[in-house]
Amino acid sequence: MFKGSLVALITPMREDGSVDEKAYAEFVDWQIKEGTNGIVPVGTTGESPTLSHDEHRRVVEIAVEVAKGRVPVIAGAGSNSTAEAIELTRHAKAAGADAALIVTPYYNKPTQEGMYLHYMAIADAVDLPIIIYNIPPRSVVDMSVETMARLAKHKNIVGVKDATANLVRPLHTRIACGEDFCQLSGEDHTALSFNAAGGVGCISVTGNVAPRLVSNMQAAWAEGRTKDAMAIQNRLVPLHDALFAETSPGPAKFAASLLGKTSEHCRLPLAPLMGPTRDRVRAAMTQVGLLN
């Protein structure tokens, strides 16, 4: 259903902090023209925790309007409030999104049973494909393979964005959830290794600024051109490193600003990048060949 290079989109903002809708629309169109296979608005990389509900909904609507069916749109719709997640997922469906990305509830620290009931409530309430987003470093909780297997029995729960960087996990998930369960990496460094263990693509941060390279890497892997895929992977490593030198999406937004796509502005509590990080991002962009 979803595969290849999908991008966890940044949300362009003006220097005054308002969402730059024009820049966002142009950014989505550029991503698709550069070969991105799917777009993911208002996830963590899109600064969803600091967007108002109106802004969140509008960003999803713009993504769907610009995509025009050329690539799937997986709308971020997660929350640590089940009722709010249902509301956002209903909007994603009404806006025309192809699926919703639902993060494991953060801060609340639900048990495995709590996570199971949370996702089942959303899946029962909205007839839209759901991708589970498992990211323990940000959410604190880690959904077990056993819980995911229980959820995979629901017709609307179709896959996972796995940001654990645990390369044993997709092997076990494939056995427990079946080969049709869509496994997408949420971690750029291990994207190819994840594919080798049963994945079918990556929801990428690096794809924000290197969409063609990331897409070509996934295409090469899918076509069996392993050496070509690994060559691109090796080329991208310094950029992956730089884009996570400080809290994401700060470095990614700064890198996008170097390409003239948006300002580097992130909303508080994310601070402006430190000087050494700026230098590192600029150097990596140059090394990879994205800047002269």
Catalytically active residues, by annotation = 133, 161
Residue 38 pairs with which residues in a beta bridge? Answer: 6
CB-count exposure of residue 146 (10 Å: 0-12, 13-18, 19+): exposed
Longest pairwise C-alpha distance within the chain: 52
Cβ atoms of residues 74 and 98 within 8 Å: yes
**Count of CB atoms situated within 10 Å of the CB of 168:** 10
Phi-psi region of 222 (alpha: psi -120 to 50; beta: other; left: phi over 0): alpha
Residues near 201 by Cβ (< 8 Å), separated by ≥ 6?
2, 3, 4, 5, 6, 37, 38, 184, 185, 191, 195, 218
Report whether the peptide linkage leading into residue 249 is cis, meaning its omega lies within 30 degrees of zero: yes
Determine the Cα–Cα distance for residues 145 and 175; give it in Å rounded to an integer. 10
Phi, psi of 253 (to 5 degrees): -70, -40
Tokens of 15: 């220097």
User: Are the beta carbons of 29 and 65 closer than 8 angstroms?
Assistant: no
Sign of CA dihedral 20, 22, 28, 31: negative
Q: What are the angstrom distances between the C-alpha of 234 and each of 57, 83, 191, 240, 247?
A: 37, 43, 12, 10, 23
